[in-house]
Every structure is written in C-alpha cells, then in structure tokens.
Amino acid sequence: MGGIESADVVVIGAGIIGAACAEALSAAGVRVLVLDRAAPAGATTASGEGNVLLSDKQPGPELELAKASRRRWPQLLDEVRELIGPDLAEVEWDPKGGLVVATGADEMGPLAALTAAQRAAGVEVEDLDAGQAREMEPHLTDQLAAVAHYPDDAQVQPVLATAALLAAVRARGGEVHGGVRADGLVTGRSGEVVGVRTGSDAIPCGAVVNACGPWAGHFSETIGAPIDVLPRRGVVLVTAPMPPFVRRKVYAADYVDAVASAEADLQSSAVVESTRSGTVLIGSSRQRVAFDDDLDVEVLRGLARGAIRLFPGLAAVPVMRAYGGFRPYTPDRLPVIGADARVPGLWHATGHEGAGVGLAAATGLLLADLYTGREPVVDPGPFRVDRPEVALEAGS
Amino acid sequence: MRRVVVVGAGPAGRAAAAATAAHGVEVVLVDSAPKLGGQYDRQDTRESGDRFALPSGVEYLPDSVVWAVEPAPGGHRVHVRTGPADSPERAGRALETRALVLATGAYDRSLPFPGWDLPGVYTAGAAQALAKSQGIAVGDRVIVAGTGPFLLPVATVLCSVGARVVAILEANDPVTGWMKRPGGAVAGWGKFGELARYSVLLGHHHVPMVRRSAVIAANGTDRLEAVIASRLDHDWNPVAHTERRFEVDAVAIGFGFTPQLELAVAARCDIEGGFVAVNAAQATSVPGVFAAGEITGIGGAELATHEGTIAGTAAAKLLGARVRVPFRAMRHVRSGRRFAAALQSAYPVRPGWKGWLRDDTLVCRCEEVPYGELRRAVGGLDIGGVRSLKLATRAGLGLCQGRVCGRNVAELAGLADAADGFSRRPVAAPVRLGELAEDTPVESER
C-alpha cells in the first residue's frame, strides 16, 4: 500500500494495549507503525469502563503489574501532555477511589482475607464501617456487612486515552493506519520476521507485536505461533444522565471471585460507577460464548438486580442503552507479554481480560524494556509466552 | 398459540395486522402511541373514539414500547412495556413469535445550524404532531424550512391550527429534480394530486414557497426571535448577499426522513443504503422477520400500506396459513418504489449544509457537543469509527441516542457509510432498572 515504507516494529491492533506498546517503543526511539483492521480504539477498548484498579487483584504477578501501571499512568499522561498539548491529552483521568461492599455476612470473611493479603502486598486499603461508607456514598444500601475503601483505584476514558497515546506516537514520527488488516507475516531464511503482509502488499519490519486483544489467539494461529487467548463476553448497562449519585467505583465483594473464575458460564457481579457526563455504568458480566454478541435479556436482568442490591435508589432510574464487548481471556488468567521464541521478531501483548486499560501503561513499558534490553519494570517471568498454560502447539 | 407480532401501528403496521388477521392468524400489534395511526395518521388524543378499526383477531397494545428483541428458539422474543412512559407501573410482557413484522417507520431529519438549539426551533414532525394530536400551533409566526413534499402538509396543518406561516423554504429545486426521473413521477402520479391540494390550501393562506433557500441561522436570547434565510447554490452553499431576516417565533425544520432501524438492527437484519433490505415478500435477511413501510425506503403512506399487506400475508403464510398471493399490493409496491426513488433524487440533502455550522454550533443537542469538539476528535486525534467517535465526543450518547444527530455527525466526520452504527442499541427504548430486574414470564408460541 502507498505511503507505508517500513518500520522497526509493526504493532497490530490499535486498542489501548497496542497504543501503549507503540507509545513506549516510540519513546525509546523505535520507529513504530500501528495497524488496525478497523478504527483505532473501536472494539474491546471502546467497551470498557476505563478501570485502573488495584482492588480487584489478588496478590500475585498481576497485582505487581497493576501497581506498576497505577504508578506509571499519571507519569505517562504528563509526558503525553508535554508532547501533544493539554487539549488533545485531556483523557478524563480520575483517581476516584473504589469501594468493595459485602452485603451479606457470608461475604465478610472472604473480604477480610482479601484485604489482609492485599495490604501485605503493599496495597492501601481502609476498612469502613457502615456509617463511614454511607458518608462517602450516601445512596449506598443500608444492608452493609463490611466495606473496604481503595483510595488508589482510578479511571480514565479509554477511547480518549488510546487516541492520545496514538497521537504521541505520530508526534514522534510513528504512523497509525486504521482500516488495514494484517494478513500474516513475511519471514526470512531462518524463520525470522522481516515484514507484515497486508493484502497484496508487505510492510518491511524487524519485529511485530500481536496486540489483537480477544482476536490475538486467532491471529497467532494464522501466523503459526498459536497462543491460547479466547474472547470472554461482557455487557454494561448505561443509565440516563442524572445528578451526582455515585462518586467512586463501587462493587460487590463477589466481583473479585467472578474476575478470577475460570468458568465458561455466566458470572455476574454488581459494579456501579458514574462517568463525567452523569450517566451511571452498571456491570459486570462474564461469559465465554465465543464471539456471539446476541442480546441476552437474562444477563441484563442479572446486572439490574445486582446494581439495585447495592443502590436501591437505582430502581427508578431509566437505562438508556446497553453495550457488549469481548475481553481477551487466558486460561491462567495472566496477560501474555514478551517475545515468542518460535518466531524470532514476534512479540505478544495481550490476554489482559477486563483489566487492559489499567494494565496498559506498565504493559507498554515492560514490552519496550524487553525489546530494548533495559531493566524490566516488573518481573516478566509470569507473563512469558512459552508458559505451558498459553503456548499451544502449532496446528493443534 | 401461533401469533404474529407487528411493531408499529402506522399505515404499514395496521395493514400488516389486518392482512394477517384476514388469514385467521392471531396478531399482537404493538405501538408506542396512545392511539392507532403512527406519525402519518396521528389522531387527536383529546377526542374520544378511534378513526381506525381493527379486525377481530388483533390484540392491540397501545402505549407500548418494544425495548428489546432477542433470539429465541425458532424465532424471536419481543420484550414490551405497556403504560405511559412516565408511569411507575408499566406492565412487562415477553412475547415469543416465529413471525415478526417490523413497521417502525421513520422520523424526520434535522440539520444543525447556528441557533438551532433555541426554544422555538422544532422538527417539522414535532410541529405536525402537536397540531394533529393536541391542536397546538408551535408559534404565531412560523417558517417551515427544509426539503421534500412533507413540508406542504406540515405548513397546511399549522395554518389550520391558527399559525401564520410566513414562508416555506425549499432547499432544492424540485422541478429540475423531477424532470430527471419522469418515469418515477408518472409512477407516483396520484401523489401529485395530493400535493396539488396542499398547494391550493396554502394559496388560500397566502403562504409563499421559496425554492433554493434555507434557514441557515436562528437568533434570539432565551428563545427564537428571528431566523436568517439565505439563497443556496446547487450544492446548498449559501449565496453571498442573499441573506434575509424573518421575524418569527417558531421554525419547523424537515430535511427528509431517517428510518427507525433499532429493532431491525437488533434482529440483525441486513441494512442496505441506510434501509432494511427486503425481498418481494417483504422478508428481511433474517428468517422470520419481515419489514414494511418507511424502514425499507421512504415512499409515503400508500406504499407503506401495500408493503404492510404483503408483509402480513407472508407472515401468516410462514405460520402455516393458506394465503392468496397479494398481486395487487405487489404491483402497487413496484410502482411505488419507482416513485420513491424519484422522490429521493428530487429532494436530496446536499453537502453544503456543513458550511452553515460554526465551531460553537451544537451538533448533538442532548450532550451539548459543539462542532469544534467533533473537529478536534476527527482532525486532532484522528478518531474514526462510530463507536469510538461517540465515546470520544459523547455525540449521540444522550437521551435521543443519536436519533437526531447520528446521521449528521457521521457525515460531518466523513463516516457517512457508518450512519447506521448509531442504530446499534440492544436496549432500544429506555426501561427502568427496576423494570429490568423484574421477572417477566415468557409467553411462548406453544
């Protein structure tokens, strides 16, 4: 295709993860080109609430990545603002904090165990009594068994954040092309990446990053280096705009289990938060139904019930719309970040499930660290591509 | 029980329900208004009685919205809430059917211009609806502006409820347009009689029609005080030094129609050229889903009625009824479509309207998104794609969910092909969370 000459690295997928990888690589002086088969930030990224959370992570490698990412996000946004100006870099960053709410006595024990473990891992958690919790969120139910406050939970507008990161890539001389499908790799004599095929053309490059989100599994298969990434469907309800109703991200204590579960069946757990425009977003459901996005009213019903349990006043509020999306799911519930030894020059950055926006800042940094040989921001071992849980045999 | 569910009680939906019932198949007819009629035949809600009669075998659900259509074994499940929109006690039903007829119609299109968000600026359809259903004139001195023959009945009904219609501004030059498709004009010859009657009525009221002109700005502090009209060139760019100020307290704007596609999109029907694609039996690309009326192409009430007859007959046949092929309706539909195509080409919306906007002109009124912000997203951040554009600018995310602004925003952003992306709404009408949380027993067909 005309205009695209060559690049050091071609990033495939212009969602939040692809954008963060491209930004971090371009900041390290790498010549980057980002491709997306459709419009940038139009799929999984556009379906997310923009969570940057510590509260929903159990201690382990994902929490370490989340902590690094939470530290990195404000710095990253400062750097981008410096580069592209405050107007284009306005991405509604909001360190709003989160509340995890146990409404039944049976949820108190598990919540106490979770917060204790998170505290030991360095997460700031505050135990609230019912009075304190309702002072923070006056519309919260009075059926409160236990509430934990996470002051470091934050939110960002994911489409704007992605667009700003891509604008930074362009400002550094990188290129971003929407509506261009990567059909496969061009490999050299010893099987290494020398280019990307797009239709009848090829873009010469030294490396490729697979940042295709829920489609990363499919793409990895077509290029003969399969990884086990599957779509996991989610649906969000959006209310009509209303006067300030909920300030923080508020969710039911069983959410952490739903996120961590490996079940294919529907997992539903109440998550309630507002946006800057005054709408209230209600999640969250998790279902492994391949790429089936047929409406299922039972799923919406479950979301509505969960939200009303947390905030009884929501019952009278109209839902204006619902939208669904697909999260990139891995069997061991950890992202895949790093080089693929099977094809020299092939990298993956995917499998973040519902936490891609939150984990993006550190994921981009980690990938650039590994690519340039710098000291990695976190231990990359748990995310490596050749772990048995995700690396599949070609043709399997 | 086998049943056909028809959504929409305008000309197409009523004809579909009648045709189905005539074949001895039960019908549920769902409509959001309190009385039969739809937009075209809207009835005065203050009067008792009903101008329209439905045959037996039709269960009519007025004041009812279909807020979701989901797949069900062998067909679809149609989720309905019945009761006034602001009532806390709307009853919910979930109707399963193997034959769904969508006749959801169209709403009229507005184009933005500086000041169009002032009170006193109405869509032509809203002005007509207020006059028809409640006898209310939107103003004392009114301008009707836009394009298409629909402006004439709107001006006529405004006169009939006591408004002084200062002028009708038609942005196209329809005479030239019709000359290009004489076959289409002949196909719809009956229509011209109707239009001629309106012209005579408007002549009685001394309402001038000005061609190649449009309202390009509205002035006023708290509400509309005056509009600025301008001559337009062929592409609808304002012609310099032709601006003229009209002191009016209301303006009714109509630039053709946009089909109401939410349910068709939710049912996954193929959309072609902005309308639901149907075959000669009004069947959509989805088995068990039929479409009739303006959602398949803007062609007026007569064409819609014939399409409804065909759709209702085909739906009855699908459920096992022995039917007579509606040859007469099919013949009318063929000529009606030729007329509709000619209509479209005589009254297009031309791109010059984009030049009427300023950076502070709102492109989405619900979310108050100014044109400058849209330009920043498209130009500065290079955001393309309907979904990302909506989220980045909030255009189309407000209460009307893009019904008013969707097409305009898509065209301004250079995404004209993606306009039906604004119709992707799994929750097709607002429903309270409490209603959503309720258990609604499913009424299956068997």
Domain's final residue, options A267, A295, A329: A329
Nearest-10 crossing angle of helices A61-84, A158-171? 60
Distance of alpha carbon A72 from alpha carbon A76, whole angstroms? 6
Torsion of CA A37, A38, A43, A44, to 10 degrees: 30
Residues 6+ apart with CB under 8 A from B265: B271, B420, B423, B424, B425
A315 at B interface, C-beta within 8 A: yes
Tell me which of B76, B289, B381, B432 to substitute to probe the interface with A (most A C-beta atoms closer than 10 Å).
Answer: B381
Are A239 and B433 inside 8 Å of each other by CB? Answer: yes
Q: Alpha carbon of B203 to those of B152, B155, B165, B209, B364: distances in Å?
A: 11, 11, 11, 10, 36
Q: For residue B397, give how far its alpha carbon lies from the nearest alpha carbon of chain A (Å).
A: 9
Extract the tokens encoding B287: 């088995």
**Residue B422: what pLDDT?**
74
What totals of helices (H) and strands (E) does chain B contain, helices first? 13, 24
Q: Which amino acid is at A389?
A: E
Q: What CATH number is attached to the domain comprising A197?
A: 3.50.50.60
Say if strands A280-286 and A267-274 run parallel, antiparallel, or are unpaired.
antiparallel
Which helix (H) or strand (E) is B58 found in, with range? Answer: strand B58-61
Is the distance from CB of A317 to CB of B433 less than 8 angstroms?
A: yes
Q: Which amino acid is at B19?
A: A
Nearest-10 crossing angle of helices A356-372, A61-84? 80
Cis peptide before A284 (omega within 30 of 0): yes
* Domain membership flag for residue A346: yes
Extract the tokens encoding B134: 């409640």
Nearest CA in chain B to A293: B426
**Residue B418: what pLDDT?**
62
Distance of alpha carbon A258 from alpha carbon B14, whole angstroms? 48
Q: Alpha carbon of B305 to those of A307, B55, B87, B311: distances in Å?
A: 44, 16, 32, 10
Strand ranges (E), B200-307: 209-211, 213-219, 226-231, 244-247, 250-255, 257-259, 271-272, 275-276, 289-291
Residues A234 and A274 in one domain: yes
Nearest CA in chain A to B423: A321
Q: For residue A239, give how far its alpha carbon lies from the nearest alpha carbon of chain B (Å).
A: 8
Nearest residue, CB atoms, B399 vs list A39, A167, A240: A240
A300 at B interface, C-beta within 8 A: yes
Distance of alpha carbon A386 from alpha carbon B261, whole angstroms? 47
Torsion of CA B94, B95, B101, B107, to 10 degrees: -20
A305 at B interface, C-beta within 8 A: yes
Residues A225 and A237 in one domain: no
* Domain membership flag for residue A395: no
Domain count, chain A: 2
Q: For residue A316, give how far its alpha carbon lies from the nearest alpha carbon of chain B (Å).
A: 6
Residues A107 and A246 in one domain: yes
Q: Which domain holds residue A267?
A: 98-151+230-329
Per-residue model confidence as pLDDT tens for chain B (446 residues): 589 999 999 999 999 999 999 999 999 999 999 999 888 888 888 888 888 888 899 999 999 999 999 999 899 999 999 998 777 789 999 999 999 999 999 988 999 999 999 999 999 999 999 998 899 999 999 999 999 989 999 999 999 999 999 999 999 987 766 666 666 665 565 666 677 788 788 888 889 999 999 999 999 999 999 999 999 999 999 999 999 999 999 999 999 999 999 999 999 999 998 899 999 999 999 999 999 999 999 988 999 999 999 999 999 999 999 999 999 999 999 999 988 888 888 899 999 999 999 999 999 988 889 999 999 888 877 887 788 888 888 888 887 888 888 889 988 988 866 656 777 788 888 899 999 999 888 898 75
Nearest residue, CB atoms, B436 vs list A159, A164, A319: A319
Give per-residue pLDDT as tens, B300-319. Answer: 899 999 999 999 999 999 99
Say if strands B64-72 and B75-82 run parallel, antiparallel, or are unpaired.
antiparallel
Are B70 and A295 inside 8 Å of each other by CB? Answer: yes
State the alpha helices, DSSP H only, in B321-432: 327-346, 371-375, 386-393, 406-412
Residues A216 and A294 in one domain: no
* Domain membership flag for residue A165: yes
Is the distance from CB of A334 to CB of B105 less than 8 angstroms?
A: no
Distance of alpha carbon B446 from alpha carbon B440, whole angstroms? 17
Are A40 and B68 inside 8 Å of each other by CB? Answer: no
The DSSP output letter for B238 is B
Q: For residue A344, give how far its alpha carbon lies from the nearest alpha carbon of chain B (Å).
A: 33
State the alpha helices, DSSP H only, in B205-254: none
* Domain membership flag for residue A393: no
Residues A225 and A258 in one domain: no
Distance of alpha carbon B159 from alpha carbon B138, whole angstroms? 11
Within 8 A of A178 by CB-CB distance, chain B residues are: 384-385
Within 8 A of B372 by CB-CB distance, chain A residues are: none
Q: What is the pTM of this model?
A: 0.89
Q: Is B406 exposed, middle or buried (0-12, 13-18, 19+ CB in 10 A)?
A: buried
Q: For residue B81, give how far its alpha carbon lies from the nearest alpha carbon of chain A (Å).
A: 13
Residues A19 and A65 in one domain: yes
Residues A53 and A178 in one domain: yes
Which helix (H) or strand (E) is A249 found in, with range? Answer: strand A249-252
Distance of alpha carbon A210 from alpha carbon A185, whole angstroms? 11
Distance of alpha carbon B66 from alpha carbon B427, whole angstroms? 9
Domain's final residue, options A289, A311, A329: A329
Are A167 and B436 inside 8 Å of each other by CB? Answer: no
**Residue A2: what pLDDT?**
47
* Domain membership flag for residue A396: no
Give per-residue pLDDT as tens, B382-403. Answer: 887 788 888 888 888 887 888 8
* Domain membership flag for residue A390: no
Q: For residue B420, give how far its alpha carbon lies from the nearest alpha carbon of chain A (Å).
A: 15
Within 8 A of B69 by CB-CB distance, chain A residues are: 295
Nearest residue, CB atoms, B388 vs list A42, A300, A318: A42
Domain's final residue, options A329, A351, A367: A329
A374 at B interface, C-beta within 8 A: no
The gap between the terminal CA atoms of chain A, to the nearest Å, is: 33
Residues A261 and A220 in one domain: no
* Domain membership flag for residue A267: yes
* 3-state SS, residue B108: strand
Extract the tokens encoding A130: 């019912």
Residues A325 and A315 in one domain: yes
Say if strands A184-187 and A280-286 run parallel, antiparallel, or are unpaired.
unpaired
Q: What CATH number is attached to the domain comprising A123?
A: 3.30.9.10
Distance of alpha carbon B280 from alpha carbon B80, whole angstroms? 29
Please identify which residue in the block is written with the tokens 């056909």: B4
**B residues 346..375 contacting A (CB < 8 A):** 367
Say if strands A267-274 and A249-252 run parallel, antiparallel, or are unpaired.
antiparallel
Within 8 A of B368 by CB-CB distance, chain A residues are: none
Within 8 A of A179 by CB-CB distance, chain B residues are: 384
Nearest residue, CB atoms, B436 vs list A41, A295, A300: A300
* 3-state SS, residue B266: helix
Q: Which amino acid is at A249?
A: K
Is the distance from CB of B79 to CB of B293 less than 8 angstroms?
A: no
Residues A258 and A109 in one domain: yes
Q: For residue A164, give how far its alpha carbon lies from the nearest alpha carbon of chain B (Å).
A: 7
**Residue B204: what pLDDT?**
83
Nearest residue, CB atoms, A297 vs list B79, B399, B425: B79
Residues A162 and A224 in one domain: yes
Q: For residue A314, give how far its alpha carbon lies from the nearest alpha carbon of chain B (Å).
A: 7
Nearest CA in chain A to B432: A318
Nearest residue, CB atoms, B399 vs list A297, A300, A320: A320
* Domain membership flag for residue A247: yes
Q: What angle do CA A204, A206, A208 make, to 5 degrees?
A: 90
Residues A146 and A262 in one domain: yes
**Residue A284: what pLDDT?**
85
How many inter-chain contacts (A to B, CB under 8 Å) are there? 134
B93 at A interface, C-beta within 8 A: no
Nearest-10 crossing angle of helices B301-318, B11-22? 30
Is the distance from CB of B384 to CB of B219 less than 8 angstroms?
A: no
Q: For residue A207, give how far its alpha carbon lies from the nearest alpha carbon of chain B (Å).
A: 25
Nearest CA in chain B to A42: B388
Nearest residue, CB atoms, A319 vs list B383, B392, B427: B427
Q: For residue B278, give how far its alpha carbon lies from the nearest alpha carbon of chain A (Å).
A: 22
**Residue B88: what pLDDT?**
75
What are the per-10-residue average pLDDT scores of chain A (396 residues)? 76 98 98 94 91 94 98 98 94 95 90 95 96 96 94 96 97 94 95 94 96 97 96 92 93 80 76 89 86 85 95 94 91 96 97 96 98 98 96 75
Q: Which domains does chain B have, with CATH numbers?
A: 3-107+258-343 (3.50.50.60), 110-255 (3.50.50.60), 352-422 (1.10.10)
**Residue B43: what pLDDT?**
84
A298 at B interface, C-beta within 8 A: no
**Residue A16: what pLDDT?**
98
**Residue A1: what pLDDT?**
43
Distance of alpha carbon B127 from alpha carbon A283, whole angstroms? 40
B380 at A interface, C-beta within 8 A: yes
Say if strands A154-155 and A51-52 run parallel, antiparallel, or are unpaired.
antiparallel
**Residue A286: what pLDDT?**
85
Within 8 A of A171 by CB-CB distance, chain B residues are: none
Q: Which amino acid is at A285?
A: S
* 3-state SS, residue A12: strand
Nearest CA in chain A to B424: A323
B434 at A interface, C-beta within 8 A: yes
